[in-house]
Chains A and B, each alone.
Chain A
Amino acid sequence: MSSDSALRYEAALKVTGGAVFEAEVPVAGLLHAALVEAPLSCGEVLSVDATQASTMPGFAAAVSHAEAEALQPSPATALIRERVIHFAGQPVALVTASTWLEAKAAARAVRIVTEGRPAVTALAQARDKSFAPAMVGRFPAESRRGDAAKALADADLVIRHRYETAVNNHHPMEPHAVVCWWEGDKAVVHTSTQAIFGTRTIIAHAFKIPAADIRVVARFLGGGFGCKGQLWWPWMLWAMLAAKKTGRPVRLELTRAQLFTLVGRRQETMQDIGLGFSADGCLAGIEHHVIAQTSTHADYSDSTAVYTRFLYACPNVTTTHRLVRTNEPQPVPMRAPGTAPGMFALESAFDEAAERLSIDPIELRVRNFADHDQEAGRPWSSNGLLECYRVGAERFGWSNRPERGSAVDGHWRIGWGMASTLYPAIRQACKVRLQLAADASLRVQCGTQDMGSGTYTALGQMAAAALGVSISQVTVELGDTWLPEGPFSGGSQVTASLMPAVEMASAKLRARLSQMAVADERSPLSGQRVEDLDFQDGAIRSRAGNAGELLSDILARGATDGIEAEGESAATQHPSLAATSMGYGAVFVELGVDPELGEIRMRRVCAAFAAGRILNPLLARSQYVGGLIGGIGMALHEMTVTDRASGRIVGDSFADYLIPVHADMPDFDIAMVDEEDAHLPGGVKGIGMLGTAGIQAAIANAVYHAIGRRVRSLPIRIEDIIG
């Protein structure tokens, strides 16, 4: 299967406004919902009184903890069943009315009586109460290899610094929404979720109903980046309770302000990193200690220091992760979870070491290249990092790097910086169904999601290639739990998960079609050997003698109703993996710093990525560039701020939370390094998050290169440059 820059499958729908997002599903009798938020950041709800609200025009119903008590207890229902307030802005009720304006007005009239408790509103406030989670995702929270403390004590050069990263919010352009209704005891839920099957499971458990009685639909997602997941469920369930109570469809759409508090965040981190080097630049020891924020109702730790365990070769590595509970919103994974904050610290520290050692930053990384996964003690399935350095450096012109502080363009001091990036390549279990109609048009079905990542296109391309038909003959169906169960959209795992399932299903179809041809004396391929057959251009052709027959003719003869097959694939079996699989990259940036005004402006970015087989270079480039832009935002602009006195977010809008705009865009040069990987089905790795790590350090390194100032906290802003 060769790569193919097929146009995005659903692009025509999206550019004409014809892609219906789930809030937009037309349904008669719709009620609109608004959430009622608690005004304090810590305490208890004593009563919720909707009596006054119920007299408002258009009011239909209110639901609160009382209604939620009918649901089964679980993490997904905790926030709506329990009357405990964990963070400012936490919803305590949901109100429905005939219009959105009426719902908001009614929500304002709900009387809440609360009792406040002392709140912890900043990580620094409770640092001494930090604790270690047992696990960090699927990794242990602590790791120890060799004796890093001794290695650092004995090292020729030690770099020890603290690096800090701010709270970010995901802010997909589409706010979370649900349109839901009940048909008897069966639920229909249209919602912007990255996990339709996970959502179905949650609903089934909460309402104690069979999964088969629940349909969850998410055909188009306006972005997700990790926040359209578990933290959305409580509010979605309240909407479902309201739909049950009123007997009418209910729509809840979150406001942009609510996307700062209700659906997750990238946790702030405080990272203490120590790198010990020998004089020739070989790593002797690494210590990487992380402290991060979590809420008072759940634990989450990014895998921030996990990648330090194996990115570079080092015999002595100690890493720890600790959490501090605050009365702030709960963190969840956000695009490049763990790698984004962790690589900022590691790749900045590496650069600081390179300067002290007088070794070129790339050369220092090359010298410490890990030729196998030293932490797990197994080989890489493929590691193209060295090639990424080489290709990226060449395209960027790294050998022409000016002396630090010497390049000037008017008021701008020019800086160049680089960094490594990586992201795991893993798969989830997946099922697909292929249906080939009599006219050889192909329908591919998988209950997975597309949040802009290109799943529609990937699936269509894979199926088309597997059966040798044109993608214009393929219809792709996603985002419905009536379809075969597919993976959740996250972890850059979907494309890789689909590949083996599509291959299995298509192999079955190919086998059946081949048999229908060779076994039928009416077929030009009659008597041919199945092994000699190729599928291309909507036909089967024999390599031995050039005989061929259109699929549609084969089907017309033997299967006028068409044929179908299902395929499935398994998730990555971590304990029994023979090799570790990562995608890698090297990111190079050139930027300008105005030392008097403090402004930082990106000029160009060059990145080389080695992430297995690229199915579609056009869409892959979009993913890579999109990831890099997310990283630029984290490096230079994004910061969610809490008012310590009240625990509320200060500036909960796009006017204050800045993400890169068109005028911020540098030129992007993306190199996709060819890479084969026999361990991975189809050689496919994930790519969507590679761009969002590494670039933050590359930027900090470039700022240092420009003005000789080392900034060790993100975002890097005017006040870090001036004064």
Chain B
Amino acid sequence: MNAATVETSGSPIDEQAMERATVALSLTINGRLHDVRTASSATLLDLIRDQLGLTGTKKGCDMGACGACTVLVQGRRIKSCLALAASYDGEAITTIEGIGTLEALHPLQAAFIRHDALQCGYCTPGQILSGIALLSEKPQSLEAIREGMSGNLCRCGAHPNIVAAIAEVAGL
């Protein structure tokens, strides 16, 4: 590679365009209605985490791979980092904060604790929400649970205990 001078620059965006680049949304999150204004380009994940301060939902890759950002929309699991917030106007969303509390754990949360289905805890909310959605699909075997949970990555290696916790709640 020869020595060369390289310039890089981006293109500025005018202020009026930036002001236009927001949307007003109504979202029901964990049963509570939120009227918010956010950037047109904001993901549901950033809205939940940064704007609404619900930090239980995690940002692991922001590219739809790790699943740490999993939330439920009308009970269906999605990856909120690939969800444009504006596109979810009017939807009902459940995050980990809406699943259970320290005083009243969801059965899957309790099973996670019993089976030590976590280590660092960063993938855990996503695994639990994904697991809850999977349970509603009535998986019939451990293999089906493993396949069904494969959209949730874990780097600490809690996989076998996670599957055991889900299997216990599934009655397998």
Contact = CB atoms under 8 A, between A and B. Distances in A.
Interface string A606-625: 00000000000011011101
Interface stretch (A304-312, A446-454, A510-518): A446-454
A626 B155 CA distance: 8
Interface in B50-87: 50, 53-63, 65-66, 68
A665 interface: yes
| Most B C-beta atoms less than 10 A away, residue of A256, A452, A663 | A452
Contact of B109 (A15, A24, A118, A225): A15
A653 B61 contact: yes
A10 interface: yes
B90 interface: no
Given A100-B46, A662-B152, A116 B160 contact: no
B161 A20 contact: no
Contacts of A623: 119
Nearest to B123: A173
B169 interface: no
Contacts of A452: 118-121, 156
Contact of A17 (B50, B57, B119): B57
A221 B120 contact: yes
Nearest to B111: A15
Interface in B7-39: 7-13, 15, 18-19, 39
B155 A223 contact: yes
Contacts of B162: 662
Interface in A574-628: 618-619, 621-623, 625-628
B137 to A, nearest CB: 15
A468 B59 CA distance: 41
A112 B113 contact: no
A668 B6 contact: no
Interface stretch (A49-57, A157-165, A231-239, A710-718): A49-57
Contacts of A115: 3-6
Contact of A42 (B1, B95, B116, B149): B1
Interface string A2-20: 0000011011111111111
B92 interface: no
A201 B161 CA distance: 38
Interface string A44-62: 0010000010011100000
Given A24-B49, A26-B53, A453-B119, A15 B156 contact: no
Contacts of A619: 116
A21 B120 CA distance: 10
Contacts of A55: 12
Interface stretch (A72-80, A101-109, A203-211, A532-540): A101-109
A17 B97 contact: yes
Given A119-B1, A173-B122, A173-B154, A16 B102 contact: yes
Given A115-B5, A118-B1, A654-B65, A626 B113 contact: no
Interface in A56-111: 56-57, 99-101, 105, 108-111
B121 A222 contact: yes
Contacts of B8: 39, 111-112
Nearest to A457: B116
Interface string A255-288: 1100000000000000000000000000000000
B65 A174 contact: no
Contact of A225 (B3, B50, B155, B163): B155
A174 B113 CA distance: 20
A172 B155 contact: yes
Contacts of B6: 39-40, 112-116
Contacts of B56: 16-18
Interface in B153-169: 153-163
Contacts of A14: 118, 121, 124
Interface in A628-681: 628-630, 653-655, 659-663, 665, 667-668
B96 interface: yes
Counting chain B CB atoms within 10 Å of each CB, which of A7, A174, A221 scores highest?
A174
Nearest to A119: B1
Nearest to A53: B10
Nearest to A26: B53
Contacts of B123: 173
B44 interface: no
A262 to B, nearest CB: 15
A7 B116 contact: yes
B102 A18 contact: yes
A10 B4 CA distance: 54
B63 to A, nearest CB: 6
A11 B153 contact: no
A7 B61 contact: no
Interface in A305-342: none
Interface of B: 1-13, 15, 18-19, 39, 41-42, 46, 49-50, 53-63, 65-66, 68, 95-97, 99-102, 105, 109, 112-114, 116, 118-125, 128, 143, 145-147, 149-150, 152-163
Top 6 nearest A-B pairs (CB, nearest first) are A17-B56, A452-B120, A626-B157, A222-B122, A14-B121, A452-B119
29 contacts: A12-B109, A13-B121, A14-B124, A16-B97, A16-B101, A17-B125, A24-B55, A42-B1, A43-B3, A52-B9, A57-B15, A108-B10, A109-B12, A110-B10, A111-B8, A111-B9, A113-B5, A116-B2, A173-B58, A220-B121, A223-B155, A223-B156, A225-B155, A452-B121, A625-B160, A628-B157, A629-B157, A662-B145, A667-B160
Given A8-B113, A112-B7, 17 more contacts: A10-B121, A39-B6, A55-B12, A101-B39, A105-B13, A113-B5, A116-B2, A173-B60, A173-B155, A174-B58, A225-B155, A255-B62, A622-B161, A623-B119, A665-B160, A667-B160, A668-B160
